[in-house]
Amino acid sequence: MQFPQTIWQDDKLIQTLTNGGVAVMPTDTIYGIVGCALRQETVERIYKIKNRNEDSPFIILVGSMEELEKLALELALELTNDEKNVISKFEKPTSFILPVREKKEKYKYLYQGQDSLTFRIPIENGLCELLRQAGPLVAPSANPKGLTPAKNIKEAQKYFGDEVDLYIDDGEMVSEPSRIVRLYPDGKVSIIRE
């Protein structure tokens, strides 16, 4: 699936996200409800909007391997050279579960009691550029708990109404969610979802 790079280069979208707002927008897989991963109030707001249990951490989108490395240092994640090599080999949209070395109290709202966090570097350049400008984003699917992910903006608006600050429309999206792979510090992998 190819997107025009302009979908994510929307000044209002960049401003909304950098100011801690919440948007529904296309990701490289399906519509997501997204917000800045490093702002606790934004992440907690998305949990509330989705009516999702807080013991289930969100996938975090990052714009590049360099951004992932910086975030790994910040969040105390394991990210060995073996893991970096594995990440670079996957082509289809793939989310990677990385272990947390030691939990930092500051990011308790991201860990949610778990010993790992999940990340994806999108395969779409335009989305990666947005992530480099707006920072890492939590990006769960655009649906309340128990309902199917929105395939278009009209469905998302029915779900969330004015609880969301901005909607970015890219028509109908009927893609699959990303593959999920768990990585281990020794380079081993296990595929959780194909």
What confidence tier does 1 reach under pLDDT thresholds 50, 70, 90?
very low
128 Cβ neighbours under 8 A, 6+ residues apart: 63, 64, 121, 122
Q: What percent of the chain has pLDDT over 70?
A: 96
* Position with higher pLDDT, 6 vs 127: 127
Distance of CA 19 to the CA centre of its chain: 17
61, 27 contact by CB (below 8 A):
yes
Task: Output phi, psi for 117, to 5 deg.
Answer: -135, 155
All domains in the chain, ordered by first residue: 5-193 (3.90.870.10)
Rounded CA separation 106/127 (Å): 27
pTM of this prediction? 0.92
Indicate the burial class of 58 (C-beta count within 10 angstroms; 0-12, 13-18, 19 or more): buried
Of 22-26, 38-42, 50-54, minimum mean pLDDT range: 50-54
**CA angle, residues 19, 36, 61, in degrees to nearest 5:** 140
What confidence tier does 168 reach under pLDDT thresholds 50, 70, 90?
very high
State pLDDT tens for residues 75-110. Answer: 888 788 888 888 888 877 899 999 888 888 999 999
In the numeric block, which tokens belong to residue 17? 């996200």
164 Cβ neighbours under 8 A, 6+ residues apart: 22, 23, 24, 33, 49, 156
